[in-house]
């Protein structure tokens, strides 16, 4: 056996043997995996259905059209582009289509739970080629929509990202919509983390309130590592105020030939499979269980972690699939425990529990050595875990966190 296949087998065994609690990870079905490993990997298909640059794409066109049809139906969109390789290129394409270099964009701070591509300054394309203003969260880790409205009104960006990577609360799309409308800004909902919760009807949909949607197709959606860009009815109407008569075409041109070449047709086929799987009562039951399990996980941590020596573990969330836990000392966060998130994550890994270190709101440490961990329930819910298992693993996590705090004392 080739060494690479030995390593693949070891990694697959690791995924089964350990407890997977990183919120952005999940397990794909055998059908999705079959599409990913198919002969579609052999085919170049630059362009779009009916307008390819290479021959031999008649069947490929049918596959992409099926993915488009299913994606539009699932998310109730006017148009969908299923070719972005991942979430970052999807956001890049939207910026290329709607904003000129040097114009102002707005997104949530990375330290508050936002994403790098939402305007993180200096080191990302979104912060380097566009003027960026970034909004924060309050001490509880929540968006203060009144302050956000004031912030947007003062800065008047051309585009606003509403989306997160470590935000454990329900997003109020309607309030975002009103704020964007007030200043005439494009509103882009990045639903990468919560796409599966939206189609599972356990998180409100942004479609009635935003102009464009971007999303990855793994995470809670349980598909391959791909992405899509969606155009809403409101977006089509808003585009006309900018003189854009065909917003869908403008988005498509930004993806190809704007930033990408040939699409990965094996991934697009796997997306079509995942869209069909998500459009079922079974998937809605799965989404509901994700939320139930998150509450049980939080409950297990609180049962074990709170009340010791008058200290309390701060848990940011949860109203969705994830939560962020402050691993520093509750008695004096300015002195003890700051930056211990990585240590806790490594200790948990040694016990077979996989999480990721993460900044907490207003973290005194940096992203390379943050003070918290981020945990979630999608993957183990796919494996069949229910509330009892998550409450028990929550207790285990709390004991590890307290062990690190005691060492600090």
Instruction: Give the Cα separation of 126 and 107 in Å (integer).
Output: 10
Burial class of residue 151, CB neighbours in 10 A (0-12, 13-18, 19+): middle
Q: Band of the pLDDT at 328, cuts 50, 70, 90?
A: confident
Count H helices, E strands: the chain? 15, 15
Residue 342, domain extent: 282-408
Both 124 and 88 in one domain: the answer is yes
Q: Which of 34, 44, 78, 387 is catalytic?
A: 44
Task: Please say whether the beta carbons of 220 and 165 come within 8 A.
Answer: no
Section 19-43 average pLDDT: 97
pLDDT in tens, 120-166: 988 899 989 999 999 999 999 999 999 999 999 999 999 999 999 99
Q: Which of 216, 232, 318, 377 is catalytic?
A: 216
pLDDT at site 261: 95
Tell me which residue of 17, 5, 82, 78 sits closest to 270, measured CA to CA: 82
Both 76 and 117 in one domain: the answer is yes
pLDDT in tens, 51-95: 999 999 999 999 999 999 999 999 999 999 999 999 999 999 999
Is 219 part of the annotated catalytic residue set? yes
Domain boundary among 279, 311, 329: 279
Establish if 198 belongs to a structural domain. Answer: yes
Both 261 and 287 in one domain: the answer is no
pLDDT value at 29 more than 80: yes
pLDDT value at 180 more than 70: yes
Burial class of residue 100, CB neighbours in 10 A (0-12, 13-18, 19+): exposed
Burial class of residue 369, CB neighbours in 10 A (0-12, 13-18, 19+): middle
Establish if 185 belongs to a structural domain. Answer: yes
pLDDT at site 23: 97
> Which of 107-121, 256-270, 303-317 is the least confident region?
303-317
Both 90 and 159 in one domain: the answer is yes
Establish if 6 belongs to a structural domain. Answer: no
Instruction: Give the Cα separation of 363 and 228 in Å (integer).
Output: 32
pLDDT value at 374 more than 90: yes
pLDDT value at 406 more than 60: no
pLDDT at site 402: 79
Residue 232, preceding peptide bond in cis (omega within 30° of 0): no
Establish if 383 belongs to a structural domain. Answer: yes
Which of 306 and 246 is assigned the larger pLDDT?
Answer: 246
Pairing mode, strands 212-216 and 227-231: antiparallel
Is 30 part of the annotated catalytic residue set? no
Section 323-340 average pLDDT: 65
Both 222 and 301 in one domain: the answer is no
Both 242 and 301 in one domain: the answer is no
pLDDT at site 111: 87
Section 237-261 average pLDDT: 96
Is 44 part of the annotated catalytic residue set? yes
User: Radius of gyration over alpha carbons of the chain, in Å?
Assistant: 22
203 Ramachandran zone, left/alpha/beta (phi>0; psi -120 to 50)? beta
Q: Which of 25, 46, 78, 136 is catalytic?
A: 46
Number of domains observed in the structure of the chain:
2
Both 261 and 290 in one domain: the answer is no
pLDDT at site 279: 98
Which of 364 and 244 is assigned the larger pLDDT?
Answer: 244
Both 189 and 143 in one domain: the answer is yes
pLDDT value at 332 more than 50: no
pLDDT value at 181 more than 60: yes
Instruction: Give the Cα separation of 73 and 204 in Å (integer).
Output: 16
Q: Which of 135, 167, 190, 318 is catalytic?
A: 190
Instruction: Give the Cα separation of 116 and 164 in Å (integer).
Output: 10
Establish if 77 belongs to a structural domain. Answer: yes
Q: Which of 52, 72, 219, 342 is catalytic?
A: 219
pLDDT value at 216 more than 60: yes
Establish if 93 belongs to a structural domain. Answer: yes
Both 77 and 131 in one domain: the answer is yes
Main-chain dihedrals φ then ψ at residue 214, nearest 5 degrees: -120, 150
Domain boundary among 243, 263, 279: 279
Section 290-303 average pLDDT: 95
pLDDT at site 307: 54
CATH number of the domain to which 312 belongs: 3.90.1150.10
Task: Please say whether the beta carbons of 163 and 88 come within 8 A.
Answer: no
Residue with tokens 């966190």, as numbered in its chain: 401
Domain boundary among 238, 257, 279: 279
Is 216 part of the annotated catalytic residue set? yes
Establish if 25 belongs to a structural domain. Answer: no
Q: Which of 33, 34, 225, 333 is catalytic?
A: 225
Both 294 and 337 in one domain: the answer is yes
Q: Band of the pLDDT at 403, cuts 50, 70, 90?
A: confident
pLDDT at site 155: 97
Both 171 and 147 in one domain: the answer is yes
Which of 299 and 368 is assigned the larger pLDDT?
Answer: 299
> Which of 1-5, 73-77, 94-98 is the least confident region?
1-5
Both 146 and 251 in one domain: the answer is yes
Establish if 21 belongs to a structural domain. Answer: no
């Amino acid at each position: 056996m080739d060494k690479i296949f030995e390593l693949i087998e070891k990694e697959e065994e690791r995924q089964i043997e350990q407890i997977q609690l990183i919120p952005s990870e999940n397990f794909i079905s055998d059908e999705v995996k079959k599409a990913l490993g198919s002969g579609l990997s052999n085919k170049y298909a630059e362009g779009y259905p009916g307008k390819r640059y290479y021959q031999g794409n008649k069947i490929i066109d049918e596959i992409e059209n099926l993915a488009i049809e299913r994606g539009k139906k699932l998310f109730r969109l006017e148009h969908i582009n299923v070719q972005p390789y991942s979430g970052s290129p999807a956001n890049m394409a939207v910026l290329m289509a709607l904003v000129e270099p040097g114009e102002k964009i707005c997104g949530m701070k990375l330290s508050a739970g936002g994403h790098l591509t939402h305007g993180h300054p200096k080191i990302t394309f979104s912060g380097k080629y566009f003027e960026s203003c970034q909004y924060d969260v309050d001490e509880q880790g929540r968006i203060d929509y009144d302050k956000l409205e004031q912030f947007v009104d003062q800065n008047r960006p051309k585009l606003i990202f509403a989306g997160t990577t470590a935000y454990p609360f329900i997003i109020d799309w309607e309030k975002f919509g009103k704020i964007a409308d007030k200043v005439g800004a494009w509103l882009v909902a990045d639903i990468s983390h919560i796409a599966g919760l939206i189609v599972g009807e356990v998180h409100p949909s942004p479609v009635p309130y935003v102009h464009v949607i971007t999303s990855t197709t793994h995470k809670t959606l349980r598909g391959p590592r791909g992405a899509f860009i969606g155009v809403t009815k409101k977006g089509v109407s808003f585009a006309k105020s900018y003189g854009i008569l065909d917003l869908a075409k403008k988005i498509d041109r930004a993806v190809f030939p704007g930033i990408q070449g040939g699409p990965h047709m094996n991934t697009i086929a796997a997306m079509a499979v995942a869209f069909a799987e998500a459009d079922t009562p079974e998937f809605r039951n799965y989404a509901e269980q994700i939320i139930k399990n998150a509450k049980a996980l939080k409950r297990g941590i609180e049962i074990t972690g709170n009340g010791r020596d008058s200290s309390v573990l701060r848990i940011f969330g949860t109203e969705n699939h994830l939560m962020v836990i402050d691993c520093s000392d509750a008695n004096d966060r300015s002195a003890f425990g700051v930056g211990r998130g990585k240590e806790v994550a490594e200790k948990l890994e040694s016990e077979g529990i996989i999480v990721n270190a993460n900044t907490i709101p207003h973290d005194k440490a940096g992203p390379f050595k943050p003070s918290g961990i981020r945990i979630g329930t999608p993957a183990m819910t796919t494996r069949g875990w229910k509330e009892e298992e998550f409450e028990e693993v929550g207790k285990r996590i709390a004991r590890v966190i307290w062990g690190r705090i005691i060492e600090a004392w």
